[in-house]
Structure 1
Amino acid sequence: MSQSTRTDAGAPGRSGAASEPALDLDKLFAARLFAVRARPYLATALFALHVVESRRVPTMAVHRYWRCYVSPVFVRRTPVEELAGIWVHEVAHLLRDHHGRGDRVARERGLTGPGARLLMNIAADCEINDDVFGDGLVMPEDAVTPDSLGLTSGELMEDYLRRIGLGSGMEHLAWLDCGSGADGLEREWELGADGADGLSEQQQDAVRFRVAQAVKGRPGTTPKAWKRWAEEVFHPPQPWRDLLGAAVRSAASASGAGEDYSYGRPSRRSAGVPGAVLPSLRRRPPRVSVIVDTSGSVSDAELGGALLEVAAISRAVGGRRDLVTVMSCDAAARTVHPLCSAEGIPLVGGGGTDLRSGFARALRTMPRPDVIVVLTDGQTPWPDERPPCRTVVGLFPRAGSGRESWIENDPDYEPDAPPDWARVVTIG
């Protein structure tokens, strides 16, 4: 990039604006090159930004269409090393889709107006600034970080937004404005979707994908937040309820599931065996057995969620509730209940966890199920052998890389991962 767009040089209400010095592009681009050397995996994104000179932004701001609005005064008074860090900060807003996430949060939580969007900008800055600086990038003195607000590092914008408010101590951040790229709210000084040199959604996705490839190519030198982001670019999160239903439908429709021999329609091979009637292999609706983990490590809220999933499972097999049974299990399997309505199923338990008894009980049920669905937090031993039917595990999430131990006298306990023969879907 060797050129920039100049806008609002003589903006109304700014006396003497026309006499201010022009944007020092040499210094600004030198800072970008400094940023590329410090964070080479972000090079594609940094060079994709189109610079727009603006005297209506306090520092630098980004637009959801990948324009970077820059204050000439700010560039003139800021050292190159510090400008490099701000380049990385601004492009991180766009790579992490803070504008799209800000719009979604605003709809979900009813957040409107500039005040709410300022909170989103602050929360987005906290997500970025906890690891964007250092290792060659200088942190500005007024940078908003989780530590400066008494918050925990390593969380997402949505998490920080729940913990901050426009109360005392926030007045000094009223100047903060990283543009619609940080919170989704269009500014009047932004050029809009039809302005020159913006990136289309397809071009933006291509930039993100190339940056994610670069991040994954440097596994030992990138911060954890960027590694997590790159994984989501390659494997975007999907609605877990849809995944659970798809897993159940896939298991129920697999070869061998719901199939049995029937004399209701004789086999065509009977014609080759005079005097004998051979049964034909027919597909019937699959039977599903749901095992709900009711041990003490599963919360009441998770048990309530499990009942909702039972209703969703019945829809996944065509709404045939008569083919779905539900069993609660902690260290021992409980009574098997036919599914009439999810609200009427008693979930009994509260002790330790050993879902192997639930598997054994489900497989003794006649007729035997074609699919077993287990709803659990994973803190259980698993059967040593693969059951003679498809298995889907709905896993309640636990914090950390592993799942938190509920065993108070064994703080080092780490549960076994579900076996390879089970289809695993994380719930929530």
Structure 2
Amino acid sequence: MTAADNAHTPGTLDLDKLFAARLQAARARPYLATALFALHTVESNHVPTMGVDRHWRCYVSPAFVDRTPVEELASVWGHEVSHLLRDHHGRSDRVARERGLTGPGERLRMNIAADCEINDDAFGEGLVRPEGAVVPGTLQLPEGQLMEEYLRQFRLGPRTELHAWLDCGSGADGLDREWELGPDGAHGLSTQERDAVRFRVAQGIKGRPGRAPEGWKRWAEEAFHPPQPWRELLGAAVRSAASAPGAGEDYTYGRPSRRSAGVPGAVLPSLRRRPPRVSVIIDTSGSVSDAELGSALLEVAAISRAVGGRRDLVTVVPCDAAARIAHPLARAEGIPLMGGGGTDLRTGFAKALRTRPRPDVVVVLTDGQTPWPSTRPPCRTVVGLFPRRGAGWDEDDPDYVPDSPPAWARVVDIG
């Protein structure tokens, strides 16, 4: 075989260059290797650079590969697979439903917000920053936040004009493209295969935690923390609280009421549903282990996502025998979970219900070894129970059997 046989034909996809870049990405980020090699490559002249669909196919522009150095291509590989690992397509769909976001403009905002989440710590140590990459500083936004949070902080305008071309595919924003092969196309991964890839990547990150950025470490912790049924119950409680008469309601003139047409000369406000406020009481007594407290913080992060990423709507109350300060949620890992004594979550309920504005939902994370309020709180209550260390375990009385949570609470097991 001659050198001419190996020469790249202009206009076709240079697979040698593309796969060399993928190998460089895997060497720079070994924990992403399983995901990088799980992607199936599809040549496409419709995608501006590289893009992914939710079925783990990677669409690649031959012209983009020709004009881009291998070092930058490696970074783009890592960027695109990050969209899939972090489930940006599923999260974008949920945000679109919850906030009523429609149209390609809103999906472009989701793509940009997802890029900010990925790119704030993606480059360096073997991966260069590609030309045109969106980072939070580009939009004068803080680093270290999630896509849902970034989405609330900017609109399309002068700062985003340079990124109007951006298209990372449905794997980044959940909106199917005409040029994608769809669910019935060849070489897509099944749901089980995608979950297996995510689990292997999380294993790699936790096996060598010193090599991964903080954002990936947090992601791996949540990947190892299996979805709990109580989160679905929380969602039901949140929806119930928001739909109950007087709960989660407010009036706005931003969208006049349709009844205004029947009252000439008057503009009537419309009724608007706001996301409900949630107060999380965390049991920090001596019977709760450090691992369970760590699990509680992951649940707090999940609760924040359940209310659309609105951290201002979530308050955390650490409580053992006495309730501590009610902390507005900034970052879950920054909440001081102080305690270690006995348990009386009645004080936590009292503290949570005294906060203003009052919560629509109270979530309690506990091992259950506590007295409970004698009367039902004036809001929905969900109790997440950590595993108990034997039916009669107690640090002071081996014959003690804790009371079950009251009937007015929705109870689920954690872990």
Give the TM bin, normalised by the shorter chain: 0.5 to 0.7
Sort the Cα spacing of 1:111 and 1:386 in 2 relative to 1 into closer, same or farther, 3 A.
farther
Match of 1:75 in 2: 65
Answer yes or no: is the 8 Å Cα contact 2:120–2:143 preserved in 1: yes
TM-score by length of structure 1 reads 0.58
Matched, 1:390 2:407: no
Counterpart residue identity of residue 60, structure 2: V
CA deviation vs aligned residue, 1:30-68 (integer Å, no higher than 9, x gap) = 000100110011111101111111111110000111111
Q: Which residue of 2 aligns with 1:187?
A: 177
Residue 127 (1) aligns with residue 117 (2): yes
2:100 is the counterpart of 1:44: no
Deviations 1:110-155 (Å, cap 9, x if unpaired)?
A: 1111001000000100010011111110001311011111111111
State the distance in 2 between where 1:25 and 1:304 align: 55
Could you say if the C-alpha distance between residues 59 and 221 of structure 1 is closer, same or farther in structure 2, counting changes exceeding 3 Å?
same
| Residues 1:305 and 2:361 are matched in the alignment | yes
Quickly say closer, same or farther: Cα 1:135–1:190, change in 2 above 3 A.
Answer: same
Q: Percent identity?
A: 62
SS at match of 2:141: coil
1:231 to 192, 205, 221: 221
Give the Cα separation in 1 of the matches to 2:235 and 2:14. 55
Asked if 2 retains the 8 angstrom alpha-carbon contact of 1:373 and 1:391, the reply is no
Matches for 1:339-354 after TM superposition, within 5 Å: 339=376, 342=378
Matching residue of 1:270: none
- In structure 2, the residue matched to 1:169 is 159
Query: Equivalent residue of 1:170, what SS?
Result: helix
CA contact (8 A) 2:203 2:220 kept: yes
Query: Could you say if the C-alpha distance between residues 424 and 194 of structure 1 is closer, same or farther in structure 2, counting changes exceeding 3 Å?
Result: closer
Query: What residue ranges of structure 2 are gaps of 5+ in the alignment?
Result: 1-8, 237-343, 365-370, 386-393, 406-411
Alpha-carbon distance in 1 for matches of 2:112, 2:213: 21
Partner of 1:364: none
- 1:100-249 correspondence runs (5 A): 100-238=90-228, 239-240=230-231, 242=233
Task: Letter of the 1:180 partner, please give it.
Answer: S
Contact 1:119 1:165 in 2 (8 A): yes
Give 3-state SS (helix, strand or coil) of 1:86's partner: helix
Contact 1:62–1:182 (8 Å) recurs in 2: yes
1:57 partner amino acid: V
The answer to whether the Cα contact below 8 Å between 2:80 and 2:168 also exists between their aligned partners in 1 is: yes
Q: What is the CA–CA distance in structure 2 between the aligned matches of 1:299 and 1:153, rounded to whole Å?
A: 30
Q: Please give the secondary structure, in 2, of the residue aligned with 1:210.
A: helix
- Provide the aligned length of Structure 1 versus Structure 2: 277
Counterpart residue type for residue 209 of structure 1:
F
Partner secondary structure for residue 210 of structure 2: coil
Cα distance between partner residues in 2 of 1:237 and 1:373: 13
CA distance in structure 1 between the partners assigned to 2:69 and 2:29 by the alignment: 18
Q: How far did 1:390 drift?
A: 2.3
Please tell me whether residue 23 in structure 1 is matched to residue 6 in structure 2: no
Amino acid at match of 1:175: W
Counterpart secondary structure, 2:36: helix
* Aligned amino acid, residue 342 of structure 1: P
Distance verdict in 2 for CA 1:216–1:298, change over 3 Å: farther
- The CA distance in 2 between the partners of 1:27 and 1:160, in whole Å, is 34
Deviation of 1:174 (Å) = 0.7
Q: Which has the larger radius of gyration?
A: 1
Q: Amino acid of the residue matched to residue 390 of structure 1?
A: P
Q: Is the contact between residue 352 and residue 359 of structure 2 (CA under 8 Å) also seen in structure 1?
A: no
The whole-number CA distance in structure 1 between the counterparts of 2:404 and 2:152 is 34
| Preserved contact between residue 294 and residue 303 of structure 1 (Cα < 8 Å) | no
Q: CA deviation at 1:292?
A: 3.9
Residues 291 and 373, structure 1, Cα contact 8 Å, conserved in 2: no
What is the alpha-carbon distance in structure 1 between the residues aligned to residue 114 and residue 35 of structure 2?
18
2:74 equivalent in structure 1: 84
Deviation at 1:227, TM superposition (A): 1.0
Distance 1:189 1:386, change over 3 A: farther
Q: Is the 8 A contact 1:290 1:373 kept in 2?
A: no
Cα RMSD over matched residues? 3.6
CA distance in 2, matches of 1:244, 1:194: 31
- Whether the 8 Å contact between 2:353 and 2:359 is mirrored in structure 1 is no
Query: Contact 1:82/1:137 (CA < 8 Å) preserved in 2?
Result: yes
- Whether the 8 Å CA contact 2:92–2:174 is kept in 1: the answer is yes
Deviation (angstroms), 1:164: 1.5
Report what 2:247 is aligned to.
none
Contact 1:58 1:175 in 2 (8 A): yes
Counterpart-to-counterpart distance in 1, 2:69 and 2:184: 34
Is the 8 Å Cα contact of residues 138 and 159 (structure 2) preserved in structure 1? no
| Partner Cα separation in structure 1 for residue 164 and residue 100 of structure 2 | 21
Letter of the 1:196 counterpart: A
